[in-house]
Amino acid sequence: MSLLQLDILLLIEKLVLIVIIVLASLGIALYTTFAERKVAAILQDRPGPERAGPLGLLQPFADGLKLVMKEEIIPGNANKALFILGPALAMTAALMTCAVIPWSSQVELFGRKIDLQIADINIGILYVFGVVSLGVYGIMIGGWASNNKFSLMAALRGASQAISYELAMGLSLIAVLMLGGSLSLKTLVDQQMAPGYLWNIAYQPLGFLIFFVCALAECNRTPFDLPEAESELNFGYHQEYSSMKLGFYLFSEYVNMIMSSAVMACLFFGGYDIPFLDEKTLPVNLAAVLGLGALLTKIVLFLFLFMWIRWTIPRFRYDQLMNLGWKKLIPLALVNMLLTGIFILMKQEGTWQTITGFFK
Amino acid sequence: MSIIQILFYLLSGLAVFAALMVLLSKNPVHSVLWLIVVFFAISGHYIMLNAQFLAIVNLIVYAGAIMVLFLFVIMLMNLNSSAEPGKHIWMKLAGVVAGGCFLIMLVSLASQAPEMTNKTVQMKEGNIGLIKELGKVLFSDFVLPFELTSALFLSAMVGAVVLGKKDSTQ
């Protein structure tokens, strides 16, 4: 058996990394729910949850316990297998993104250099897109399997919203990829870290704006939380769900938020880069820890922005949402892409000679 | 068996099983979901051939976009097994015979083609499936077919918009 030829140490290293990253993502998501309630409370000038534990810090566990203890109800006419598959898919798709995010640079442990990234694959950011496009199935399967017209309608809304905004997201991304010349998130981050280069936000402010709006829509966050608009659709595609299955749906939204924040930080804000500091002068392990801290800080700032928007801005109407996506964001992203292409060509040597030679 | 062979047989088995389930499922929604599993298995094969770009584009385009549209239509029409028109047993038998003949022809063609004899599949080798090489080839050697295809897509898009417009004005 050549199974033994495998680098066992590498296997263990990756497995440990996967377990740590998934657990950490879940842990952060747990406290994001708490932060959401606290931020909402601050913005609405009330104390918010404060009874469970000191400062209410045990509140997410109390919430989780409550969800787990609730009775599980599977509606009589529901498609049982798919009804269970729906939330599982939503959660899996949300967590799978963390595989390609470079959490920090290398650490040196026991004489081995360990990348703090599960897989640095050639197609990094496309993988993220593949996973995001699969997240739609969690919504659609759940909504359809519930055998409820309102769930189905909400699922259709959610799926068409996700597909519409994926387009503008991809187009705004192309401009960034043209600057970087690579699809690997690690390479993109390294380029932004290099001396003499600014973060991509400096070159692509419009691209970032489009990407951010699309990320809001992809995560079903206000002002785009139409799939679960209570006043129109009772509760949304997860109306028939109860207990932890409902918890999975709600929770996957927070995991999605964290992952999209991480992707945005890597693409536009230098990932684990610390501004005004050359990481190469630091010891390897210290640089890695500080880098991780920098990335987490950026993620937390984005999460706060998500929440801030949620508790300040009212929701779009459905036709407004579609108009914004198709008629405003996509043309804007296309223009951005064209301009970026023109500028890159201008900066390349020899372009002017070619153009002037063409007209002679 | 090496780990690549194990993976190959696993993925192939999954692909064939899922493809059979597409045909055998009574519920059309289940069929669509099994078809998505087939796409996943095929993408796995692409990755084993070191064609990562092809693998992920296969997933994004087919599983992520086209199958969602299929699912839309089927869910909205609410098809179920009772709505399916019953076919006569002779029709089914004729279908099986015709499909079987086609399969035999394909297998014999594939096994006798000069390009296929005495060749083994190259795993984890070559980089034509990676995005850099693929882009270079598409924009140099195959630039005309590539641009023609994009014109075709554009016309399809315009057609879709025209059809959609017509509906809304009535």
pLDDT of residue B83: 57
- Residue written as tokens 């993620």? A299
Higher pLDDT, B114 or A46: A46
Measure CB to CB from residue B52 to each of A122, A140, A141 and give the nearest one: A122
For residue A208, being part of any structural domain is answered with: no
For residue A251, being part of any structural domain is answered with: yes
Higher pLDDT, B125 or A150: A150
For residue A149, being part of any structural domain is answered with: yes
Measure CB to CB from residue B72 to each of A79, A127, A156 and give the nearest one: A156
Per-residue pLDDT band at B125 (split at 50, 70, 90): low
To the nearest whole percent, how much of chain B has pLDDT over 70? 83
- Looking at the structure of chain A, the number of domains it has is 1
Helix (H) or strand (E) holding A116: strand A112-116
How many other C-beta atoms lie within 10 A of the C-beta of residue B41? 18
For residue A132, being part of any structural domain is answered with: yes
pLDDT at B51 over 90: no
Interchain contact A4–B (C-beta under 8 A): no
Q: What is the token pair recorded at B56?
A: 């992920």
Range of the domain at A13: 7-51+75-160+183-192+227-313
Contact A288, A104 (CB under 8 A): yes
Q: What is the token pair recorded at A108?
A: 């040196």
Is residue B70 packed enough to be buried (19+ CB in 10 Å), middle (13-18) or exposed (0-12)?
middle
Q: Which residues of B are less than 8 Å from A93 in CB distance?
A: none
- If you count DSSP H runs as helices and E runs as strands, how many of each does chain A have, helices first? 14, 2
For residue A278, being part of any structural domain is answered with: yes
CB contact under 8 A, B63 and A2: no
pLDDT in tens, B143-153: 999 999 999 99
Contacts of A260 (CB under 8 A, 6+ apart): A215, A218, A219, A302
CB contact under 8 A, B36 and A130: no
Q: Which residues of chain A have pLDDT under 70?
A: 1-6, 230-233, 351, 358, 360
Pairs of CB atoms within 8 A across A/B: 66
Q: What mean pLDDT value characterizes chain B?
A: 84
pLDDT of residue B103: 92
pLDDT of residue A1: 41
pLDDT of residue A301: 93
pLDDT of residue A2: 46
Q: Which residues of B are less than 8 Å from A82 in CB distance?
A: 29-30, 33
Interchain contact A119–B (C-beta under 8 A): no
Q: Is the pTM of the predicted complex or chain greater than 0.80?
A: yes
The Cα–Cα gap between B40 and B158 comes to 31
Measure CB to CB from residue A121 to each of B27, B52, B60 and give the nearest one: B52
ipTM for this prediction: 0.81
Per-residue pLDDT band at B102 (split at 50, 70, 90): very high
How many other C-beta atoms lie within 10 A of the C-beta of residue A54? 7
The Cα–Cα gap between A112 and A288 comes to 14
For residue A202, being part of any structural domain is answered with: no
What residue type is assigned to position A230 of the chain? E
The Cα–Cα gap between A142 and A136 comes to 10
Higher pLDDT, A305 or B89: A305
For residue A204, being part of any structural domain is answered with: no
Q: Which residues of B are less than 8 Å from A134 in CB distance?
A: 59, 63-64
How many other C-beta atoms lie within 10 A of the C-beta of residue B133? 13
CB contact under 8 A, A123 and B52: yes
The Cα–Cα gap between A189 and A200 comes to 9
Helix (H) or strand (E) holding A108: strand A104-109
Name the residue in chain B with its Cα closest to that of A142: B75
For residue A242, being part of any structural domain is answered with: yes
What residue type is assigned to position A2 of the chain? S
Q: Which residues of A are less than 8 Å from B130 in CB distance?
A: 122
